[in-house]
Structure 1
Amino acid sequence: MPQTPVERQAIGNCWLYAEAGWVESMHLAATGESFTASESYWTYWHWFDQITQDDATEIQTGGWERTAHRIISERGLVRQADFVPRDNGPEMSPQQKGALDAVNAELVSGRLSTASARADRKLVRRVLDKAWGLPTATRSWLDAAFGADASRTIDDGAGIEGTPILSPSAFQVRYTESTTSSRPGVFKDTNLSQAIRDWHSEQYPTGATGRRNFMIRVQRALHDRQPVVLSWAVDFNALEQGTSERRGAFNMTTLRAKGPGHQGGHMVVLEDYQAMTQNFGLLPAGTTLDPSQAADRAKLDAALLPSTSVQFLRVKNSWGAVRADRSSVPGFPGYHDLYMDYLNGPIAWCPNADDPSPATCRGRTVPLWTAMMPPGY
């Protein structure tokens, strides 16, 4: 999979890191350039919309790909170094957590503590600019592009020429599209705006047959090296931290031994998978098969048979490459394996409980929620 380096989220905006991974992978495939998008830039606009449109009195950091798509369509994208220069280099943004605390303080008892203040778009911009510590030059090109009140967007006349802002309609990407289940993906060289229109998210179905058919489509996209995005439920007590063969993996064996732990929704970009086939036995993750070679092509075809069992999905994560509390897959810093026994669950769902127990949990959930895939898959 064409992937850019792993980064580490500082707040609950994994969905924007997954969006960046998706964008960067498609751009890398198209140009060979390892572009690093600024998640802080998109986060800035996510907060602006919450305050001015939703009258938020506390920032919610979570979101989904449709929100990320909208932000990109309206505000474009910038390089990491061009928005918050301090973000460029460290694995984790040194600015996001401080900015979040500062904005929430303003919403509680500061300049944005009244509804009329939150409706003042120029004031909201000034508060955000200060909270993020934006240099004067950055504030100037934001004003030039969108106006001091951010009333202009890319679709309705934002003046981005001469600024670091890149329009999604001019941002090169490459991905594949397929019209039949047996036809390999055909490269499509286009722009990010078209990708946003083309890619689609689908719910993980119920029932063994529906789930296997869903997974075959995901596998086909991975065979064509496409950055499929997964939305799923995390229970950190399912992450194996020890020295067993499942180190760095979310699995039910580890979860059953510990019971429910800290939980929440999460988004990641797929990298690989491991499967057991009838004809070739185990097809291990971390091994590249060349479809131009007949023997490898036969293995790839066998991997897509209904009789094949996917054991786990390997994902590029936004938790950093080296963390004592987030053991990665050995040899793959920042990557984790999601075993199908965990993704199929179900698991007790206790996302708001500090001390999960049957009394604080609200039912059960299947951890795998959705997959965002290219057209035709």
Structure 2
Amino acid sequence: MVSDPVTLQYILNNPSFHLSPTLQALMLWAFGPRSVILRTGNDHAQLRASLNPAFTAAAVRQYKPVFVKVAQSITEQLDNSVALSIDMCPLLSDATLKSISEVVFGCAVEELGADFVEHNTHLAHLGTSQSAGQILLLHRAIYLPTTTFGALRAQLNFANREGWRLVRQKIEAAKVGLETDGDLYGVLVNSNSLREEDIVGQTSVIMAAGQDTTANTLSFGLIELAKNPQLQNSLRAEIHAAIGTDHENIPYDGMPLLNTFIKESLRMYPAEAVSERVASEDVVLPLSESVATTAGERINQIHLRKGEILTLAIASYQRMESRWGDDANTFRPSRWLDGTVYRGEAIGPYANLLSFHGGPRTCLGWRFASVL
């Protein structure tokens, strides 16, 4: 298990490390062989380069009206609720699903039908109910007549069917001169840099990857707010002062407390606490500090043999006292403003965190998630 930042950075940027057999099996089940997650080498680099234009900062700014509309919908639901307690998890999951539907596919979630919601929800539940042992032992048994495999096959079939329908819809709309680049799939179709089947091949991962991951981190952040009324009041006051009555032009960069709250939520509650990688050849792992072996010898590197599997302890890294301060296990957004946070080399795309991983396989939708 690895939490050393130098070692993590080396692993995430080194082509000698691949997804472990367990993770490969899970990703193949859930997202299909054309998913960018399962591509390797030049194939992965080329596909990712073609997908990037739909995930740039400029593209995400274009999607902000959708996020505002969804946030207003949640606010209205909360205002109209008469319950003494509210379960925010399904509410946030529904909100992120609506955002994905409109931003990615260019249509309301209702237009995609009940099957879209059902398959996404089922996949999320399956992802939390299967152990690593089950996945590893059964990764070649996708065609067995079990409930789990049946649900996965149904989800993949649905994603492929909807993906083809949406791509062809964008192509036909472009032919008659209609505007189609207001959503992610429209941008990809108009770029002419991807084969249709490669766009369709991302449907399953886009449908599922950002929904519960984002919603879960948000839910934990709201729990922290509920435990800290003073922080809650300060955050509310900052947002009201910054936005005023103009909900169209929200100055996100002008709300330091909101930004630190987002960073602290991502730090304390990453969507993926651990990940796995396997070495495809013998490698030497560097360490940021020397460590003592059981024999009492101090070493600055670790020799790893081909085929050995490493667990990347993302959650442990994000609670290291040497990086985040003596109170690293405490939810304290102000650490991002008072100089507590380590300012050295960055190993992730956002705030030196690994919540979106790092290196060539950094989550494409990290800007999407941080804005949402």
Q: Which has the higher contact order (CA 8 A, sep 6+)?
A: 2
TM over 0.5: no
**Greater fraction strand:** 1
Report the TM-score when normalising by structure 1.
0.29
Report the TM-score when normalising by structure 2.
0.30
**Greater fraction helix:** 2
